[in-house]
Amino acid sequence: MKQFLFLFFHALPAYFLSQTSPTDKKPFADIDMTWQNGSDRRDSLIWDGKYFTPSFMIDVNYNYAFNNPVDNTVIGSTALARSNEIQLSSVNLGGDFVYKNAHARIMTQFGTRSVVVPRNDYSVYKGQYELANVYRYLSEAYAGYHFDKWYGINIDAGLFMSYIGLNSYYQSENWEYQASFTSDNTPWFFNGLRVQIYPTKHLKIEPWIINGWQSYGKFNAMPGFGGNITWMPNSNLKLLTNNYYGTDAAGIPDRKRFHSDNSLLVRYYNKPKAKISRMAFSLTGDIGFEKGGGVNGFKADSSAPKQYFLSAMFYNRIWFAKNKMAWTIGGGVMSNPGRYLVLYPTGQASPLPDPQNPTQTEGAFPFSANPGDLFNGWDCSTNFDWMPNQSITVRVEYVYRHASIPYFAGKGGVTSPSGYTTTTLPADWRPDLVRSESRVILALLFRI
């Protein structure tokens, strides 16, 4: 028996490693992913070169906030930055390079997102060289090598996209424009190393070693660890899970973070020639916590309050007119005691956070994010898309968001009485934060 077990456990890995795949044996090649929330809806590429495939995206929006803040500032969103103005949210230019088995991808980013997203990374305050400015104009930049084993193994290093929260960083891939709390409060990018393993045609296993939770640098000595598993047995079903472990509280190495993100996507109707051409839904649930360094996960005790993250979001989408029109409705809920994943409201500019209080946030009137501080929120939205071809989307969306504490920008804004950063602040002035907001978004999304 011992000899049999020895031969089995030594021969099995050798068998799998000997299985090479032809160059045309691509994972998920037989799967239709154009309907999936968070995926590229195009079914073909305009340019597909042998060595380089270019990519260009532009995202322009106008959103009307019914709160009508005097400074036009949007709070708690990575998709939007300004209210009641036409804004260029994102311009992305780059592409994919391939030479034999070596490959690389670079995508630049310009527009408001190049400021809105990096501002939430406080690892840049550790050390020198202004990391936020170094990286802010890159959304993806990595290089790697492809091994022809099984259905492929890729090893990549650099700046790459996160899958946590289901939604894509690029709005043209999402069913909704303003993401629910689950997506908007979880990472959009990682900086580090990933290994993509495709043991079968319909399964991906992807471990990560990264600097941290959407951070350009490391908050403490330990890096972040995590991974993604994606399974698509056919074109109507997608299951994925993402899991993360790291230390992401500045100057508090004893505080450990765990997070699990899980999604189910189902296309339950597909008749391309019918008036209603297809229907699908996505369901995402997240659970996470921080423990140690003065907090105690899901259960408070006499010395440490609870600090956790629970959220879920659901969206249903119906396509019409041969997939040239679509209607989406959905929303989500979030509970985050300790507010360690809440997007902090902006405020009047001030020096860096107090080094003696690493939980303090930026601004003259910092948002409280102390251990145990409660935050609950819920949101809902509905939109209509017109997609005359696979490169352009015109979207009209209504969004309502509510928080258990004053959080969103009210009529008085969050900058100054006049709305300008140049205005001297009266001693009794405070940011005007309210518990709810509603807005209408008109977006133009272009991609080739």
- The pLDDT of residue 100 is 92
Q: Is the pLDDT of residue 388 over 70?
A: yes
End-to-end CA distance of the chain: 59
How would residue 347 be classed by pLDDT, with cut points 50, 70 and 90?
low
Confidence label for 363 from pLDDT (cuts 50, 70 and 90): low
**Reduced 3-state DSSP string for 395-427:** EEEEEEEEECCCCEECCCCCCCCCCCCCCCCCC
Label residue 8 by pLDDT band (50, 70, 90).
very low
pLDDT band at residue 154, thresholds of 50, 70 and 90? Answer: very high
Read off the amino acid at residue 251: G
Residue 240 belongs to what H/E stretch? strand 237-246
Q: Summarize pLDDT for 208-249 with one digit per residue, the tens.
A: 999 999 999 999 989 999 999 999 999 999 999 999 999 998
Do 208 and 119 touch, CB atoms closer than 8 A? no
DSSP category for residue 228:
E
CA angle 350, 353, 357 (to 5 degrees): 145
Domains and CATH numbers, the chain: 52-447 (2.40.160.10)
> In the prediction, which pLDDT does 4 show?
40
∠ CA(195), CA(201), CA(204), 5° rounding? Answer: 30
